[in-house]
Structure formats: structure tokens, C-alpha cells
Structure 1
Amino acid sequence: MIKCITIELSIWILKKMLNHSFPFLAFLTVSIGFCSLVVAYTQMKIACAKTRLDLYERRFGIYVSALNCYQACSKEQSEEILRCQYELIKSCRESQFLFKRNDSIHKILSEMLDYTNQIGSYVSRVKKYESLNSAYLEIELKRYKKLTDDAKAVFQKKLFELEDKIKPYIQFENIQGWTFF
């Protein structure tokens, strides 16, 4: 009998507690749900901003590799030109996926790669001919130096063209960072 009264009393106390604390529990549940929603939304915004910044970084890396290649060609050092050629090849391949087709950035980078190959070839020939002394080789040396200078001038024009085409993609004002709402 005491057991039965104890159970009934426990049930009665539990019912009273639930009746009085139900609004509090409902408010607590809604508050936790709202906080979870805010956290999920801010994480989504942060992930979106990070993706944009990663894409910006990849696109800017393509521009930097073209600029490094131009600087290597200006120095006329065969080893450095060769190293930058590999970097430019990689950037040229990546550009197919990072830019729109109608912007023709991939085409410009391919042309820059061709001119880099020409400049590298001309520089290696000039180095080879400089070590030999001959009247015929002197004429060839001047011809290759002129071809190198012409290829560098065209490469520079292509670099300016690339800068114009890539500008909308690498202007940092276009990257929106994280905001609360």
C-alpha cells in the first residue's frame, strides 16, 4: 500500500513539474534549434567564402606563373626558363577549368607557352654560338638575339592581354568574405 501511494505521489509530482515546466522546455527546445540554425548558416557562409578565396588563389597563381615566366625570359637564363615552362604548362592546363571558355585565357597562355619555348630555344642557341668565334656565327648570333627580342616583345603584349582578361577574376573586391547575415 505504501508502495502504491509512493508511486502515485511520484506520478502526481512528475505531472505537476511537467505542467509548470512545459513552457520552459518548449522555449529551451526552440532556442537550441534557433542556435543550431544560426551556427549552420554561419558555417555555410564561411565555407562559401573559403571556396571563393581558394578559387581566387588558384586563379592568381596562374597569373603569377605567367609573370614569373616573363621575368625568366627577360633574364635569358636557360635553366630558369625551362623551370618556368613547366610551371606555365601546369597553369595552362588548369586554366581550362578555372576560367570561362569565351575569355580565351587558355588560348593566351598557350601562345605565351609557345613564345617561352621560342625564347628558350633562342637563348640556348645564343649561349652556344657565343662560345664559338666565327664571322658566320656572329651573323647568326645577331639574328637569334633579334628573334629573342621580338619574341620577348610579343610575350609582353600577351602578358598585358592576359592581365586584361584575368582582371575580373583576380580583383579582390569581387571576393565577398564572411558576414553574419
Structure 2
Amino acid sequence: MDGSQVTMVVSVVGGVVGLIALTVAWSQMRIASAKTKLDLYNKRFNVYLAALEFHQCAGSGDGIKEKFDKLTQAYRESLFLFYDKDGIRKTLEKIQIAGFAILTHHIAKLDPNSAADLFKEFQTPAGDAYMGMEEDIRALEDQLKSYLSFNNVRGWTFF
């Protein structure tokens, strides 16, 4: 082989290696983008789970303080996860206000130092809040459909 043939082979090999590197970089970029979308999806779904779990334990009162704290955190995070125009934060605020009435009722029921009048005072608002919460959960589900729907998910492809 003379010098020009060696130069030609080295140039072709260098070009092929460059194309392989470009393909790997492109694939890594797509994988990182998919991971970011998955992380955002998980955060949004956790907001829904916090509201649903609070609603599920609101009737019995088991672990209600922890679930209320989780609901409050989800409400705060919703500011950064959803567009204002979708009304998700407002719905979560309604659920949180209702949840506070339910939480106060359960705390008054469990506290031996609270007067029976205090328990009765919060019983009606807590019952009304619990009944209204079902409607708010359904509204939240409708509002979250566009964020949590799998209809627009496309599988990973090489190109």
C-alpha cells in the first residue's frame, strides 16, 4: 500500500467512527429525554396518589395525619408541575381545605382532652367535606388525563 491508500483508509475509518459516535450521542440524548419525561410523569402521578390516598383513609382516620402531610406537599409541588389554566392546583386546594376539616374532626375524636362539643362541632363539616371530596377527586382525575394519559407514548426507536 502506498501513502495515499493508507490516508484513504484512515480517513474512511475516521468517518465511520465519527458516525458511530454521533449515533451513540443521539441515542443518549433520546434516552435522557425519555428519562426526564418519565420522572415528570412520576411526580405528577404522585400528586394524584397523594389526593387519592388521603381520600381513602379519610373515612377511617388511619394514618390521616401522614396522608394529609403528603397531600399538602403534593399541593405545594403542583405549582411547578402543572399549568394554571388546567385548574389542578385549585382542585387540590379544595381537597386540602376539605381534608383539613376531616383531619381536625379525627384529631378531636382521638384526643381525650377535647370536649365532646368540639367533636360534634367538627362532625358535620367533616362529613360534608368527605362527601364533597369524591366529586373533587373525580374532577382532579379529569384534569390530570392529559398529563397522565398513555395515548401519546411512543416506544423507543433507534432513529
Structure 1 or 2, whichever has the larger Rg, is 1
Q: RCO greater where, 1 or 2, for CA within 8 Å and sep 6 or more?
A: 1
Among 31, 36, 44, the alignment partner of 1:59 is 44
Q: CA deviation at 1:126?
A: 4.0
Cα RMSD between the aligned structures? 2.2
The residue that corresponds to 2:144 in the other structure is 166
Give yes or no for the alignment of 1:68 onto 2:50.
Answer: no
The C-alpha deviation readout for 1:17-65, integer Å capped at 9, x for no partner, is 4222122111101101100110010001100111000100000000000
TM-score, normalization: structure 1? 0.78
Residue 163 of structure 1 aligns to which amino acid in structure 2? E
Among 86, 90, 97, the alignment partner of 1:114 is 97
Q: CA deviation at 1:147?
A: 3.1
Give the aligned length: 157
Distance 2:6 2:135 in 1: 75
Which runs of at least 4 in structure 1 moved beyond 6 Å after TM superposition?
A: none
TM-score, normalization: structure 2? 0.88
Give yes or no for the alignment of 1:149 onto 2:132.
Answer: no
Query: CA 1:30–1:128 in structure 2 vs 1: closer, same or farther (change >3 Å)?
Result: closer
Q: CA deviation at 1:175?
A: 3.6
Any stretches of 5+ residues in structure 2 without a counterpart? none
The residue that corresponds to 1:45 in the other structure is 30
Any stretches of 5+ residues in structure 1 without a counterpart? 1-15
